[in-house]
A and B are shown apart, each in its own frame.
Chain A
Amino acid sequence: MTDIQEAKKKASWDSPETRKNLARRQRSERLFRNIGLSAIIIALCMLATLLVSIAGKGYSAFVQTRFTIDITFSEEVIDPKGERDEEVLRAASYGSLVRDALRQEFPQVTSRRDLRPLFGIVSKGAAAQLREMVMENPDLIGQTLPVQLVASDDMDMFNKGFIDRNVVEEDRRVKDREIAWFDQLDQKGAVETVFNTDFFVSGDSREPEIAGIWGAMVGSFYTLMVTFFISFPIGVMTAIYLEEFAPQNKFTDIIEVNINNLAAVPSIVFGLLGLALFLNVAHLPRSAPVVGGLTLALMTLPTIIIAARAAIRAVPDSIRQGALGLGASPQQTAFHHVLPLSMPGILTGTIIGLSQALGETAPLLMIGMVAFIVDIPGGFTDPATVLPVQIFLWADSPERAFVEKTSGAILVLLGFLIFMNALAVLLRKKFERRW
């Protein structure tokens, strides 16, 4: 009797209890969905905040203030003997050309006390700019023509609105007389804001207005080349050996555990290892991409091995059996079938490993790639720095103008990272295979 009643209760579709249960279940599902959704929204908001703040600070690094000033390329100053000898042209005092031009532009400034700041409104790089022009075209000597000179970092900041003219003079980096000079040039239409090519084509500098990231980009390129050519072949070969050939025993188990642990070792430790091994034992050059690349290769290896092993394991066994059944040797099976089929996955893992290496700073600090290097590295053994270290160096600099440089360099680095990760996604999509 009671059994029948209970069975009836269970089968009921709309008893109050069933409805209560149903409402509770649906509520909990809704709740779970909302929690998941809000987690994603929070993450997206943080990402957006980060990007907006960096882009907001950094976009101005891509433009540059220039003053158009008439320059007289006086033969007396540049080449008094008229020989047009390259050495003489290079050694000439172009700074005095700039100073003469500024004196002519602002005849009202005469006191020594005022002349120094006046000469300071154009960048110290202006002289080099003129030298380059003359070296390229010696016919300029003797002519007078308007030249766009790079403004000093303070004038640049003022022009970009980062320095407020309404602040009391004592608290302001740009003084009243400098603002007056700026306004005078501005009224003439001589102040121009142009695309900052210097940022992309020159190396680091003490003067923020002419500091660029090209040196760091080249350094990063050389470093990543070394990293790739060391870690990719070794990593892939290791993965193939472990997956396809190695016997299953204690020894390979220990290796496997160690590789997985290596992937979790803090990168600074790899830096110390690189310092001990490549600099102190092998005596490779300090601050060089070859050492940085080797150190980063140590760090990238576990990532590549793990990704490659996963990709190799994803190749169905039936392919191996098919090849072996035809009389292919294990090596032929691995290199004719398994490796080509797992290549997209291996490349994806490699690119992700390399993009990690591209963004890595700490291990490079240990091997001296944190030096201030103005020259563009010309090879694997030249002193160099890399993008993230450049960011680190600039973030440490006191000048206001380096703030925007830092953000600008971060934008460039992020651009590269996004590009590399997009490439990895594309590769995976393109070669994705269904069995």
Chain B
Amino acid sequence: MLAEVQPPETSEHPAIISAKEVSVYYSDKKALNAVSLDIGENQITSLIGPSGCGKSTFLRCLNRMNDTVPGCRVEGKITLDGHDIYASSVDEVLLRARVGMVFQKPNPFPKSIYDNVAYGPRIHGLAKNKDELDDIVLTSLEKAGLLKEVRDRLNATGTGLSGGQQQRLCIARALAVQPDIILMDEPCSALDPIATAKVEELIEELRENYTIIIVTHSMQQAARISQKTAFFHLGEIVEVGDTEQLFTSPSDERTQGYITGRFG
């Protein structure tokens, strides 16, 4: 099964997510047209492309966040570890616990830093007692590189942190649920360059244990952190390949045009 959907580009990473002929409609408007893409495990895959090209739509298909949009319809097949995630037997709530998400605008809950991170484990019953919960919260904050900065004010409200800290808090919050895959929807677009550098560094560290798919507007960012890049244009994947190759010798002229700044 997995062998069937192996990408043409040879990769030492086996595909964990495999999308086949995925089309998305918002009411009658087609936002994504027969997109097929394989995501390698423990890799950073970046999705680039001009605004409105469908890259965020595709990302949101992977944890079924599109289900929450009224009038949205998904066709095609997306498998996670070989299981169809749109099968009726799959509960989207459990799926989202496996496939975490970080959003464009940092959106910590207006609660304490501790409660922000502890929320996921609490609703999924991941901790048996207070000590275990403390442990999860501290490890997650540590992994997100935030623990040093907030160790002595875990009860302060999460919205009081700086933008970059808020975004790392959101990453810690996603990590606390112990997902396999983390989707990031332009996680740095609302951050200043220094905060961006910190988050990028964090994303690279996370690659060891997580599969990361990141939508970005910044081609430099895609080039810096990702191993694989997919270029979206007008609801279709134009080109997908190893990041270095895609940026140095793109095979499609639209890709060429986009990365050299002729449109987008």
Contact = CB atoms under 8 A, between A and B. Distances in A.
Interface string A295-332: 00000000000000000000010111111111111101
A318 to B, nearest CB: 4
B173 to A, nearest CB: 7
Nearest to B64: A324
A332 B103 contact: no
B177 interface: yes
Interface string B87-111: 0000001111100111101011110
A290 interface: no
B3 to A, nearest CB: 31
A39 B173 CA distance: 53
Interface string A162-201: 0000000000000000000000000000000000000000
A325 B101 CA distance: 5
A314 B107 CA distance: 15
Contacts of A336: 119, 123
B107 A322 contact: yes
Contacts of A316: 107
Interface in A131-170: none
A219 to B, nearest CB: 41
Contacts, number: 65
A118 to B, nearest CB: 73
A305 B38 CA distance: 47
A275 B107 CA distance: 50
B93 A325 contact: no
B103 A327 contact: no
Interface residues of A, number: 22
Nearest to B95: A327
Interface string A325-359: 11111101000110001000000000000000000
B129 interface: no
Interface string A239-262: 000000001100000000000000
A326 B103 contact: no
B226 interface: no
B107 A326 contact: no
A336 B122 CA distance: 12
Given A326-B177, A433-B110, A248 B103 contact: no
B237 interface: no
A326 B68 CA distance: 14
B130 to A, nearest CB: 19
Contact of A325 (B63, B94, B123): B63
Interface of B: 63, 65, 68, 70-71, 93-97, 100-103, 105, 107-110, 119-120, 123-124, 159, 170, 173-174, 177
Given A322-B107, A326-B173, A328-B119, 17 more contacts: A248-B70, A316-B107, A318-B105, A319-B107, A319-B109, A323-B109, A324-B68, A325-B63, A325-B100, A325-B174, A326-B96, A326-B119, A327-B93, A327-B95, A327-B97, A433-B110, A435-B159
